[in-house]
Amino acid sequence: MMQIPFQKTIAHVARVSGRGYWTGKNVSLTFLPAEPDTGIVFRRIDLTGEPMIPALAEYRSDAQLRTKLVCDGASVEMVEHVLAALYGMGIDNCIVECDACEMPAMDGSAIEMAIAIDQAGTRLQGMRAREICIDSLLRVGDDRSGVEAIPAAGMHASGLELRYHLDFGPKSVIPSSTSSYVLTPSEFLVNIAPARTFLSEHDAKELQRMGVAQHVTYRDLIVFGNDGPIDNTLRFPDECSRHKLLDLIGDLALCGARVRGTIIARRSGHNLNGRMAEHLLNLHLAEQHPLSHVA
């Protein structure tokens, strides 16, 4: 018999700090316990009035190579790793205080955040968790680059299975790989959270030529040259597709609920991931208020 899933928040306060990739500014994050049905909310304590920004797809704003949220004129960006850490570690409700717009890059992964959340512990709350059960095919993008959600089957029917196919073609210096996991806190902490951001040497130089990420070195993420990672080594043979899974988890968290089903992504990025999160959020709202969505 399936157990009733209750909402969770962190048991104790957790903190991390670092520099942003894009701005180079130092930023500190404080993860605070939150009441049931709060969801994940960012609080900009550096701004007047300390505005709150809910981590929901309706507040997503397109940005280059990152996920950005905007609410009532206040924004936070590069939120995907923070959201992945919370979602991957099974946290439903949390207030994330930050003192800058851009979240810390850390080492290009979510491992420090995941460890901090793990050490803070979890507290069960007396409210049923919000869930989305995928019962039919959902798809964004196309066969070349897209995300699809399908019903789960068999032993994984009560959880979320994730699969990412990474293939930029035979001329790309970034190796092709496929990663697949059933999401649990332990799987996330060990196999997904440590996977780091990556890009090609050509793209890295182009970004710096544009004046972005001037402080970032080859040790702050994975930069691929013709002969593989430059001044760095991979943590996993499929680290790139694992990192894409990490981003996918963070973006899917914007649906505001636990997802039951299978998500398969091919060469997707934040835009496609975010569009899928929008579909899932709309599905969740339709399940809550079915009559308001009848044409």
Average pLDDT in the chain = 93
Closest by CA position to 90, among listed 5, 160, 157, 185: 185
Query: Are 280 and 257 a contacting pair, CB within 8 Å?
Result: yes
* 208 three-class SS: helix
Q: Which residue has the tokens 């649906």?
A: 255
Catalytic residue among 243, 270, 279, 284: 270
- Summarised one tens digit per residue, pLDDT across range 32-45 is 999 999 999 999 99
Rg (CA), the chain: 18
Specify whether 270 is catalytic. yes
Query: Are 101 and 53 a contacting pair, CB within 8 Å?
Result: no
Into which CATH architecture does domain 6-293 fall? 2-Layer Sandwich (3.30)
Q: Which residue has the tokens 């399908």?
A: 150
pLDDT above 50 for 253: yes
pLDDT above 80 for 285: no
- Summarised one tens digit per residue, pLDDT across range 147-196 is 999 998 765 566 999 999 999 999 999 999 999 999 999 999 999 999 99
- The sign of the CA dihedral 81, 246, 66, 174 is positive
User: Using 50, 70 and 90 to split pLDDT, how confident is the model at 143?
Assistant: confident
Residues in the chain, overall count: 295
Q: Which residue has the tokens 């991979």?
A: 234
Give the pLDDT confidence score for residue 1 in this predicted structure: 46
pLDDT above 60 for 292: no
Closest by CA position to 164, among listed 245, 65, 239: 245
pTM: 0.94
